[in-house]
Chain A
Amino acid sequence: MSLALPTARDEAWRWADLAALPELHAAQPAGGAVDTGVLWLNLGGPRLLFVDGRLDVVMSDLRTLETGAVAVETAHPLGRLAAGEGWILRLAADQATGGPVEIVHVATGGANHVPALIDLAEDAQASVVETFVGDGWANRLTTIRLARSARLMRSVRLLGTSGFASLRDEATLAEGASLIATVLGAGGAGSRVDAAVTLEGAGAFAEYGGALLARAEQRHEAAVVVRHAAAQGTSRQLWRAVADDRATVSLAARVEVARDAQKTDGEQSLRGLLLRRTATVNLKPELEIFADDVKCAHGATVGELDKRALFYLASRGLPDAQARALLTRAFVADALARIGEEAVREAFAADADAWLGDMS
Chain B
Amino acid sequence: MLQINNLHAEIDGKPILKGLSLAINAGEIHAIMGPNGAGKSTLGYTLSGRPGYEVTGGSVTFLGEDLLEKAPHERAAAGLFLGFQYPVEIPGVSNVQFLRTALNAQRRIRGEAELSGGEFLKVARAQADALGLNMDMLKRPVNVGFSGGEKKRNEMVQMGILDPRLALLDETDSGLDIDALRTVGQGINTIMRKPDKAVLLITHYQRLLDYVQPDFVHVLADGRIVRSGGPELALELEREGYAGTVADDVAERAA
Q: Which residues of A contact B (CB under 8 A)?
A: 306-309, 311-320, 322-323, 326-327, 329-331, 333-334
Q: Which of B17-25, B86-94, B188-196 contacts A (4 or more CB under 8 A)?
A: B86-94
B107 to A, closest residue via Cβ: A317
A–B pairs, 15, beta carbons within 8 Å:
A306-B88, A307-B51, A309-B88, A311-B72, A314-B71, A314-B73, A315-B49, A316-B158, A317-B103, A317-B105, A319-B73, A320-B71, A322-B105, A326-B98, A333-B92
B110 to A, closest residue via Cβ: A317
Cβ contact within 8 Å between A317 and B102: yes
- Per-residue CB contact flags for chain B residues 130-165 toward chain A (1 = under 8 Å, else 0) read 000000000000000000000000000010001000
A311 to B71, CA, bound (A): 11
- Given the interface pairs A307-B51, A326-B98, A326-B101, the reply to whether A315 lies near B92 with Cβ below 8 Å is no
**In angstroms, how far is the closest chain B Cβ from the Cβ of A311?**
5
B89 to A, closest residue via Cβ: A309
A265 to B77, CA, bound (A): 50
A322 to B, closest residue via Cβ: B105
Task: Tell me, yes or no, whether B46 is within 8 Å of chain A by CB.
Answer: no
Cβ contact within 8 Å between B98 and A316: yes
Cβ contact within 8 Å between A314 and B90: no
Cβ contact within 8 Å between B93 and A330: yes
B51 to A, closest residue via Cβ: A311
Besides A314-B76, A317-B109, 10 other A-B contacts (C-beta < 8 A):
A308-B88, A312-B84, A313-B98, A315-B72, A316-B98, A317-B76, A317-B162, A318-B101, A327-B93, A333-B92
- Per-residue CB contact flags for chain B residues 53-94 toward chain A (1 = under 8 Å, else 0) read 000000000000000000111011100011010011011110
Q: Which of A312, A317, A319, A322 contacts B90 (CB 8 A)?
A: A312
A313 to B84, CA, bound (A): 12
- When distances are taken between beta carbons in the complex, the residues of chain A under 8 Å from B49 are 314-315
- When distances are taken between beta carbons in the complex, the residues of chain A under 8 Å from B98 are 313, 316, 326
Report how many A-B pairs have Cβ atoms within 8 Å: 75
Q: Is the interface of A mostly helix, strand, loop or mixed?
A: helix
Task: Tell me, yes or no, whether B48 is within 8 Å of chain A by CB.
Answer: yes
A311 to B44, CA, bound (A): 13
Cβ contact within 8 Å between B92 and A314: no
- When distances are taken between beta carbons in the complex, the residues of chain A under 8 Å from B227 are none
**In angstroms, how far is the closest chain B Cβ from the Cβ of A201?**
35
A93 to B112, CA, bound (A): 59
Task: Tell me, yes or no, whether B203 is within 8 Å of chain A by CB.
Answer: no
**B contacts with A, residue count (CB < 8 A):** 30
Q: Is the interface of B mostly helix, strand, loop or mixed?
A: helix
Cβ contact within 8 Å between A316 and B76: yes
- Per-residue CB contact flags for chain B residues 88-120 toward chain A (1 = under 8 Å, else 0) read 101111000111011101100100000000000
A274 to B209, CA, bound (A): 45
- When distances are taken between beta carbons in the complex, the residues of chain A under 8 Å from B88 are 306, 308-309, 311-312
Cβ contact within 8 Å between A320 and B90: no
- When distances are taken between beta carbons in the complex, the residues of chain B under 8 Å from A311 are 50-51, 72, 88
- When distances are taken between beta carbons in the complex, the residues of chain B under 8 Å from A314 are 49, 71-73, 76
- When distances are taken between beta carbons in the complex, the residues of chain A under 8 Å from B91 are 330
A333 to B98, CA, bound (A): 15
A317 to B102, CA, bound (A): 5
- When distances are taken between beta carbons in the complex, the residues of chain B under 8 Å from A307 are 51
A328 to B, closest residue via Cβ: B92
Cβ contact within 8 Å between A315 and B105: no
- When distances are taken between beta carbons in the complex, the residues of chain A under 8 Å from B106 are 317
Cβ contact within 8 Å between A315 and B90: no
- When distances are taken between beta carbons in the complex, the residues of chain A under 8 Å from B109 are 317
A334 to B141, CA, bound (A): 13
Q: Which of B51, B77, B93, B158 contacts A326 (CB 8 A)?
A: B93
- When distances are taken between beta carbons in the complex, the residues of chain B under 8 Å from A326 are 93, 97-98, 101
Cβ contact within 8 Å between A331 and B92: yes
Cβ contact within 8 Å between A334 and B92: yes
B158 to A, closest residue via Cβ: A316
- When distances are taken between beta carbons in the complex, the residues of chain A under 8 Å from B87 are 312
**In angstroms, how far is the closest chain B Cβ from the Cβ of A53?**
38
A314 to B49, CA, bound (A): 9
Cβ contact within 8 Å between B101 and A322: yes
Cβ contact within 8 Å between B76 and A315: yes
A333 to B, closest residue via Cβ: B92
A332 to B, closest residue via Cβ: B92
A306 to B99, CA, bound (A): 18
Cβ contact within 8 Å between A318 and B105: yes
- When distances are taken between beta carbons in the complex, the residues of chain A under 8 Å from B101 are 318, 322, 326
**In angstroms, how far is the closest chain A Cβ from the Cβ of B117?**
15
